[in-house]
Chain A
């Protein structure tokens, strides 16, 4: 899958398991599990000496994740539609309140013109939608050189520099 991570275009082999309903499911490495699956199986999964990743949607309360953060190298945040802005708050709570330092990856309906906002909320990795140009998308990070408010990326609001 093509991704933009820390402002660079690259490929990686993480696969998102959107739904797991088969009892005979055998977990593979580099799978981004639904949080519900992780909750049930984290004991077994943690025995494997590998990196762990989950994905959440807007319905999951970030507070539920707090005790799992140490084990997770990727938390993917789902944007099912551009209008659903809950994951922006999730990202900020994970970064600002819980000081989560692993990867926050935007998945789902990730529009180029929203990536600037996502980046500011602490999301550092973006799934590139098939058929969209990643180079074009990269440009959008430079749309604004000035930001009024503090967020996960800027420690201070602009007025402190005035």
Chain B
């Protein structure tokens, strides 16, 4: 993984000093609340419902075991012994005291981490494929480009006061595991007819109140133009993006208002002024950064030991886990292991200090000291030899980290919701709990198979409900919590937004309604169809009918609405 040199270290150290000074000025009354706000926001510090929340950047989701131990330490020393992994491959601390934040940042800087640009109207942490570097379908590792983008965007003087936040995702594989079509900019490494590798550039995707699938504005961009093209897009957005209404301020609105052709024309026009200058990216720099992302020394004979096949037959718990929590590795005899942070009764994505320390040790023992944070709020040990799977499973189980539910109904994505967030209309975590309690039979979950439930406590869509196979959106009606369901969304290659099922439902009924949806699926599914496939084939009607049976009285009530 990338290692800081003197330049990188100086920047994070100077940032700590700067924020310490800003915090001291605020606490001494020299800065007003209003003046301090943009400063703390640029450092990932929100004031939430009960306490400040500090979001720490995990660039493209990659952590060393040393860094994970530091996160555990911070949760112990400054917080309540746990932290929350977010859908954008970052980590959040929910209870730090404002005056300790400069010390937390100093601790982070000691392991090459920071909270720079984790909030505010700036270019945020660049996200990527959680299986980058090990996936079989990868054309090229996207992480060196994420790192190059990270450096270019860090304290970018021109783009630190954008109309709204700005998120970039990079994928290097055939399957899209980085949700590039629902980002402000999505970059996909592809090969052109001449055999050169470059980027397909997608702009203006996004969720939130007005969800859009991004527009393909450049089928192929040469690597040397990566930064100049990004700069051109950002400049057009910074100049012409709407600033009068925060709900209309994302780049997706600009792209949609101008139309794809006109937006593209403006970007290309801006680009023509800067493309051949200093913004051109040196091949030497690409190669320098790539050298940090080389493969570990894999064991050539790793596939010889097949003992785990026998253990799968004799141990049902282990075989359930290997069915769901492993991902194919490009090197024979290795697997990527998904560590579930979705145990029943735990808020999705939460990990305790003990669990983080434990995972860090296991990463050292079994996975070359690296851990990856996923978009689904789990962790990955990317390089595990198959001979070690059983021992690893046993050790993960000890700390409640081996729930065999990856990709299943209970592997929900969930925002912090009303329990923490000051924007939320409704709770998310209690719904996750309700679903976990109703669906506690592991065999049933395995039978239902892949099902992505995504849940947001308000229209800002931090839980990405639009692209859930089943999306759940919390709404408030007459001061009571209600939930709006959508079906058929996806954030992958076949990205699309879910369809609204019908009127919102009361809190107590959410898990029961999901049960009804699943009974329709079980009746209608053919062969190996997933819920999403069945939904796409049969449409929304059968699901609607089951959840909102048409009785004469109901019809009348609907007619009156």
| A contacts, CB < 8 Å to B | 58, 82-86, 88-90, 92, 96-97, 111, 113-114, 116-121, 143-151, 155-162
Contact A82 B38 (CB under 8 A): yes
Chain B 144-187, CB within 8 Å of chain A: the 1/0 string? Answer: 00000001101111111111000000000000000000000000
Whether A85 touches B18, Cβ cut-off 8 Å, given contacts A92-B158, A148-B154, A148-B155, is: no
Contact A157 B157 (CB under 8 A): no
With A85-B160, A88-B158, A117-B160 as given contacts, are A156 and B7 in contact (CB-CB < 8 Å)?
no
Kindly specify which of B207-215, B235-243, B313-321 makes contact with the partner chain: B235-243
Using A82-B38, A82-B161, A84-B243 as known contacts, say yes or no to A144 and B14 having CB atoms under 8 A apart.
yes
Stretch at the interface among B278-286, B434-442, B453-461, B474-482: B278-286
Interface: B558 (CB within 8 A):
no
The CA-CA distance from A76 to B235 in the complex, in Å, is 20
Q: Which of B18, B159, B238 contacts A143 (CB 8 A)?
A: B18
Q: Which residues does chain B contribute within 8 Å of A160, judged by CB atoms?
A: 282, 285
B274: chain A residues within 8 A (beta carbon): 96
The distance in angstroms between the C-alpha atoms of A155 and B279, with both chains bound, is 10
Q: Which residues of B contact A158 (CB under 8 A)?
A: 7, 151
Q: B161 contacts A88, CB within 8 Å?
A: yes
A37 CB → nearest B CB, Å: 23
The contact of B11 among A83, A84, A120, A146, by CB within 8 Å, is A146
Are A86 and B238 touching (Cβ within 8 A)?
yes
CB closest residue in chain A, given B240? A86
A156 to B227 alpha-carbon distance, docked (Å)? 13
- Smallest beta-carbon distance A141→chain B, Å: 12
Q: How far is the CB of A28 from chain B (nearest CB, A)?
A: 33
The answer on a CB contact under 8 Å between A162 and B7 is yes
Interface size on B (CB < 8 Å)? 37
- Name the 3 nearest CB pairs between A and B, nearest first: A85-B161, A120-B157, A117-B157
Partner of A89, one of B14, B39, B238: B238
Compute how far the CA of A58 lies from the CA of B162 in the bound complex, rounded to whole angstroms.
Answer: 12
Instruction: Determine if B151 and A85 form an interchain contact, defined as CB atoms under 8 angstroms apart.
Output: no
B484 within 8 A of A: no
From A118, A156, A162, contact of B288 by CB (8 A): A162
Assembly CA distance A99 to B243 (angstroms): 28
Smallest distance from the beta carbon of A131 to chain B beta carbons, Å? 11
- Kindly provide the distance from the CB of A40 to the nearest chain B CB, expressed in whole angstroms: 25
Shortest Cβ gap from B5 to chain A (Å): 7
When the two chains form the complex, which single residue of B151, B157, B278 contacts A121, counting CB atoms closer than 8 Å?
Answer: B157
Residues of chain A within 8 A (CB-CB) of B288 are 159, 162
Tell me if B7 and A146 are in contact (CB < 8 A).
yes
A160 and chain B: residue at smallest CB distance: B282
- CB neighbours (8 Å) of A150 from chain B are 278-279
CA distance A86 to B235 in the complex (A): 9
Instruction: Please state if A84 and B161 are interface contacts (CB–CB under 8 Å).
Output: yes
Complex contact A83–B121 (CB within 8 A): yes
Contact check, B38 vs A148: say whether CB atoms are below 8 A apart. no
- Most chain A C-beta atoms within 10 Å of own C-beta, residue among B5, B227, B243: B243
Indicate if the CB atoms of B239 and A89 lie closer than 8 Å. Answer: yes
Give B271-293 interface residues, CB cut-off 8 Å to A: 273-274, 278-279, 282, 285, 288
Task: Please indicate the chain A residues that have their CB under 8 angstroms from the CB of B15 in the complex.
Answer: 144
Residue among B151, B155, B163, B243 facing the most chain A CB atoms (10 A cut-off):
B155
- Report Cα–Cα, A66/B157, bound state, in Å: 23
Tell me the smallest distance from the CB of B276 to a CB of chain A, in Å: 13
CB distance from B224 to the nearest CB of A (A): 13
Apart from A92-B158, A97-B273, A114-B161: 19 A-B pairs, beta carbons within 8 A = A58-B243, A83-B121, A83-B243, A85-B160, A85-B162, A85-B163, A88-B159, A88-B160, A92-B235, A96-B273, A113-B38, A143-B14, A144-B18, A148-B7, A149-B156, A158-B7, A159-B285, A162-B5, A162-B7
Q: For the complex, is B388 an interface residue (Cβ under 8 Å from A)?
A: no
Which residues of the partner chain A approach B17 to less than 8 Å between Cβ atoms? 143
Q: Residue B10 at the A interface, CB < 8 A?
A: yes
A residues in contact with B279, CB < 8 Å: 150
Q: Establish whether residues A155 and B158, one from each chain, have CB atoms under 8 Å apart when the complex forms.
A: no
A147 touching B38 by the CB < 8 A rule?
no
Enumerate 14 A-B pairs (CB-CB under 8 Å) in ascending A order: A84-B161, A86-B239, A88-B157, A89-B238, A96-B274, A97-B273, A114-B161, A117-B160, A121-B158, A144-B15, A145-B14, A149-B227, A158-B151, A159-B151
Q: Closest chain A residue to B15 by CB distance? A: A144
* A158, closest chain B residue (CB): B7
A151/B282 in contact, CB under 8 A: no
A125 to B479 CA separation, bound complex (whole angstroms): 52
Across the interface, B238 reaches (CB within 8 A) one of A88, A114, A120, namely A88
CA distance A161 to B288 in the complex (A): 12
Task: Report yes or no: B22 in contact with A89, Cβ–Cβ below 8 A.
Answer: no
Residue of B nearest to A133 (CB): B30
B35 CB-CB contact with A under 8 Å? yes
A147 to B152, CA, bound (A): 9
Which chain B positions have C-beta within 8 A of A156?
278
Q: Which residues of B lie under 8 Å from residue A146 when comparing CB positions?
A: 7, 10-11, 14
Q: Which residues of A contact B227 (CB under 8 A)?
A: 149
Chain A residues contacting B14 (CB-CB under 8 Å) are: 143-146
- Docked Cα-Cα span, A61 to B10, in Å, equals 37
Are B155 and A147 interface neighbours, CB within 8 A? yes
User: Is there an interface contact between A148 and B152, defined as CB atoms closer than 8 Å?
Assistant: yes
Cα(A150)–Cα(B280), bound, Å? 11
Contact with A along B239-279 (1 / 0, CB 8 A): 10001000000000000000000000000000001100011
Residue of A nearest to B10 (CB): A146
Contact B157 A151 (CB under 8 A): yes
Closest beta carbon of chain B to A58's beta carbon, Å:
8
Within 8 A of A (CB), among B411-452: none
Query: In the assembled complex, how far is the CB of residue B124 from the closest CB belonging to chain A, in whole angstroms?
Result: 15
Report if A113-B22 is in contact (Cβ < 8 Å); known contacts: A146-B7, A162-B5. yes
- Name the B residues within 8 Å of A119 (CB-CB): 157
